[in-house]
Amino acid sequence: MIELLQNLIMDYTLRTVAMGSGILGIVSGALGSFAVLRKQSLLGDAVSHAALPGIALAFLLTGSKASPVLVVGAALAGWLGTFLILSITRTTRIKNDSALGLILSVFFGFGLVLLTFIQRQPYANKAGLDKFLFGQAAALLESDVLTMLVLGSIVLLLVIIFWKEFKILSFDPDFTASLGFPVQLLDILITSLLVIAIVVGLQTVGVVLMSAMVVAPAAAARQWTDRLGAMVFLSSLFGALAGVGGAVISSMTPRLPTGPTIVLCISALVLFSILLAPNRGLLWRWAAEQRNRRKLQIEAVLSDLYILARQHQGTEHGHPIEVLRTMSIGHGGVDRSLKELKTRGWVEQKADGNWVLTACGMEQAIQISDRGETSA
Amino acid sequence: MTSAQFEIQLIAVVVAIACALPGVFLVLRRMAMMSDAISHSILLGIVLAFFLTRDLTSPFLVIAATLSGVLTVSLVELLNRTRLVREDTAIGLIFPVLFSIGVILISRYSGDIHLDTDSVLLGELAFAPFDRFIIFSRDFGPRALYLMGGIMFINIVLIIMFYKELKVATFDAGLAMALGFSPALIHYGLMSMVSITAVGAFDAVGSILVVALMIGPPASVYLLTDRLSLLLILSSLLGAAGSIMGYWVAHLLDASIAGSISSMIGLIFLAVYLFAPDRGLIAIARRRRRQRIEFALEMLLVHLFNHEGLPEAAIECHIANLPEHLYWELQFAQRVIRSGEKGNLLLNREEILFLTSTGRERAQKSILA
């Protein structure tokens, strides 16, 4: 553990990769929250693919492989792709999903043409561009991380400045418009921030897996809270944890690529949240269902005994467990229910083994049957 | 044109048709992004089957990959059914996981094979003719052609056989259920079709081109026609045309064929998006303009009708006063007047406007309406 911490601080590669992945997680986690709430989960997928031709064109035009130059190209192309998707869905009857798939594949295909074109030019090699395709966290330089840090800070700062506007826009765009906010401008702003957040992460996890970094932290965070502030914070935290965790794990294991490892880490967090988050988590839901079922089973036995008592005029007459079992066909658990009722003192077992309601149980049973009648 | 060039184009056309057919239903059923998810997650199936068989040409690979495509669909469904996340979020969560596992398996255990993520994602059509289908040392042509030809044939047969069911289930899910077609069966059947097609196409053209060919042509044709049968036929034709054009552009630029075909599909879509007769951007803009003039003309007719024969008519119906009275630009007013004269609805006598009898009728009608 101490060795690991030492490595995190001393080892240049690990430090750079971990910092880069952490920044990526924080930024995409924050912006991803808005994307998921605004039903744009898959926009990240499209934007990250659409960024490819921008990267290639930026290189073709400037001849530079410096990451700020490529990031600008990627952002412009990603932004153009997003704009096209939105305008196709707005002006035609083509639905959002088709527009996403179309722009994603066409832009990516065009990027591929440019990449292969560059590769066959005598003066250039595209070695540095490939890392955007699949992500090469290990190739991150300190200058890359600096670019990510600057861009990420700007993005987060803007989110804080426009917090109120983004919040209302995410939940009720019509209301936002009626209050006089420039909805279209805000829409463009928040989408642009998402594009930047995605582009920032491309170098680390690559085009294909970047979409997971947008969706997953937000989906995990959503399970824990209903408040936007808490969700954005948790989402960033999850993103950062997965980023740093994935970077560390992949650095300790030979031949374990960083991008996919980060994605598996964040997906594990999603699974954990979906199962265990309080209130919404599947396990809690299951436990609540079990509790409810037990309660209904117990009440069923109690009212069965009550029915029998009424039929036999009085509570002295005992009833064998077999009768109760027959009456409870379909919901079962008679033995356990009787035991529970006995500890509550609502039923008692006579000397001959038959069951009978106590006075207290009688009262309860009448209450239950009254409740049933009024609600029916 | 060499025989290799011919073979490449033939494969591309077959792939395009095989993809466009299920693609039509994906676009109509709003599940286009499922093709993206499936085409990525089949990597896992291919990798796992490869580790078991150690043979990249084994038919077992196709089966395993198809299964992993169906697995993706069911996992998305499962996640969706918890109602903890929306469907698009579920898609975005599931396929990166399967893809990541595939990538990790490849980089950890596949030191010596030529299975890498590049070839899955990007594909290289130019190599397809080198992989021959050889029986008893006789050469029957490229293997990919047979594989994709078979898949195309299966897709065509299935769609013809279940045309009615698919049609009803796509356009009216409620009616389909009432008629006793199982929505789940149709959903999974279609998804299996998408998976098999994606698997067959992956090593020839890569997963991104699969998405382009499945979504691009149907989305374009969707702006041209309302008939399902025409959608299927025209999508296949557009896909095939894009493939051939894309091949030659790639040939000229010496660039990736798959990428070039995707770009061509994009250009075709752009052309349709702009020029489609009814639903294209230009048609929409022209219709808007025409409607604006039509509405304004009606307003003008009513205006003239209201002041007809009254003392103020000479002022109210003078062209120079229209901008002030109707809040119009003079230029726009003149366009409206021209269109009214052309329709024989009004007359212009020395800059004062008069209604014709048809114009008067029209004005009365719009007041009553």
User: What does the pLDDT look like over A60-80, one tens digit per residue?
Assistant: 888 887 778 888 999 999 999
pLDDT of residue B70: 92
pLDDT of residue A1: 66
Average predicted confidence (pLDDT) for chain A: 87
Question: What is the residue whose two structure tokens read 């078991």?
Answer: B52
Average predicted confidence (pLDDT) for chain B: 87
Q: What is the dihedral of CA B27, B33, B36, B42, to 10 degrees?
A: -100
Whether the pLDDT of residue B362 is over 60: the answer is yes
Q: pLDDT grade, residue A50 (50/70/90)?
A: very high
pLDDT of residue B160: 95
pLDDT of residue B123: 63
Domain A2-280 has CATH 1.10.3470.10: yes
Nearest-CB residue to A106 (from B93, B214, B265): B265
CA distance A50 to A175: 32
Q: pLDDT grade, residue A101 (50/70/90)?
A: very high
Phi, psi of B134 (to 5 degrees): -120, 125
CA distance B364 to A84: 45
Average pLDDT over residues B170-177: 88
Chain A residue with the nearest C-alpha to that of B242: A106
Average pLDDT over residues B94-114: 81
For residue A327, which of A346, A344, A356, A305 has the smallest C-alpha distance?
Answer: A305
CA distance B165 to B170: 8
**Maximum average pLDDT range among A349-353, B4-8, B117-121, B321-325:** B4-8
Question: What is the residue whose two structure tokens read 């009898």?
Answer: B357
Residue B295 shares a structural domain with residue B236: no
CA distance A277 to A290: 18
Residue A164, amino acid = K
CATH code given to domain A285-375: 1.10.10.10
CA distance A142 to A213: 22
Whether the pLDDT of residue B112 is over 60: the answer is no
Q: Does A117 touch chain B (CB under 8 A)?
A: yes
SS3 at position A237 = helix
Determine, for residues B82 and A274 on separate chains, whether the beta-carbon distance falls below 8 Å. Answer: yes
CA distance A214 to A242: 12
Beta-carbon contacts of B28 under 8 Å, excluding residues fewer than 6 positions away, are B170, B171, B218, B222, B228, B231
Q: Which residue has the higher pLDDT, A119 or B283?
A: B283
Average pLDDT over residues B77-106: 90
CA distance B44 to B32: 21
Q: The domain containing residue B224 runs over which residues?
A: 3-277
pLDDT of residue A315: 63
Average pLDDT over residues B204-232: 91
Residue B241 shares a structural domain with residue B341: no
pLDDT of residue A372: 67
Residue B194 shares a structural domain with residue B329: no
Q: pLDDT grade, residue A243 (50/70/90)?
A: very high
SS3 at position A319 = strand
B122: exposed, middle or buried (C-beta count within 10 Å: 0-12, 13-18, 19+)? buried
pLDDT of residue B71: 94
Residue B11 shares a structural domain with residue B156: yes
Question: What is the residue whose two structure tokens read 């409206």?
Answer: B336
Closest chain A C-alpha to B267 CA, distance in angstroms = 9
Whether the pLDDT of residue B246 is over 60: the answer is yes
| Chain A residues with CB-CB distance to B287 below 8 A | none
CA distance B24 to A345: 67
Examine the fold and report which residue of B277, B301, B320 is the final residue of a domain before the chain moves on.
Answer: B277
Beta-carbon contacts of B319 under 8 Å, excluding residues fewer than 6 positions away, are B333, B334, B337, B348, B351, B352, B353
Which CATH number goes with the domain that contains B363? 1.10.10.10
Q: pLDDT grade, residue B117 (50/70/90)?
A: low
CA distance A294 to A340: 10
Report residue A146 as tokens: 């600096």
pLDDT of residue A126: 55
Residue B239 shares a structural domain with residue B293: no
CA distance B38 to B31: 11
| % of chain A with per-residue pLDDT over 90 | 44
Closest chain B C-alpha to A305 CA, distance in angstroms = 38
Residue B272 shares a structural domain with residue B187: yes
Q: pLDDT grade, residue A207 (50/70/90)?
A: confident
pLDDT of residue B261: 93
Residue B18 shares a structural domain with residue B122: yes
Residue B60 shares a structural domain with residue B171: yes
Closest chain B C-alpha to A177 CA, distance in angstroms = 24
Number of neighbours of residue A273 by Cβ within 10 angstroms: 22
Whether the pLDDT of residue A18 is over 80: the answer is yes
Q: Taking the domains of chain A in order of start, what are their residue ranges? A: 2-280, 285-375
Q: Tell me the β-bridge partners of B348.
A: B353
Whether the pLDDT of residue A128 is over 80: the answer is no
Average pLDDT over residues B180-194: 89
3-state helix, strand, coil in chain B (%, to 5): 80, 5, 15
**B198 alpha carbon, distance to own chain's centre:** 17
| Chain A residues with CB-CB distance to B85 below 8 A | 219, 222, 274
Whether the pLDDT of residue A353 is over 60: the answer is yes
Q: pLDDT grade, residue A147 (50/70/90)?
A: confident
CA distance B117 to A129: 16
Examine the fold and report which residue of B277, B311, B333 is the final residue of a domain before the chain moves on.
Answer: B277
pLDDT of residue B119: 59
Same fold, A2-280 and A285-375: no
CA distance B249 to B241: 12
Least confident of A159-168, B85-94, B139-148: B139-148
CA distance A347 to A341: 6
For residue B68, which of B3, B14, B120 has the smallest C-alpha distance?
Answer: B120
Pairing verdict, β B352-355 and B132-135: unpaired
Determine contact, residues A335/A346, Cβ cutoff 8 Å: no
DSSP A240-286: HHHHHHHHHHHHHSTT--HHHHHHHHHHHHHHHHHHHSTTTSHHHHH
Q: What are the pLDDT digits (tens) for B15-67?
A: 999 999 999 999 999 999 999 999 888 889 888 888 888 777 777 888 898 89
CA distance B313 to B351: 12
Closest chain B C-alpha to A90 CA, distance in angstroms = 11
Determine, for residues B40 and A133 on separate chains, whether the beta-carbon distance falls below 8 Å. Answer: no
Determine, for residues A106 and B91 on separate chains, whether the beta-carbon distance falls below 8 Å. Answer: no
Residue B83 shares a structural domain with residue B31: yes
Nearest-CB residue to B104 (from A120, A219, A257): A257
Residue B341 shares a structural domain with residue B203: no
Q: What's the structural domain count of chain B?
A: 2
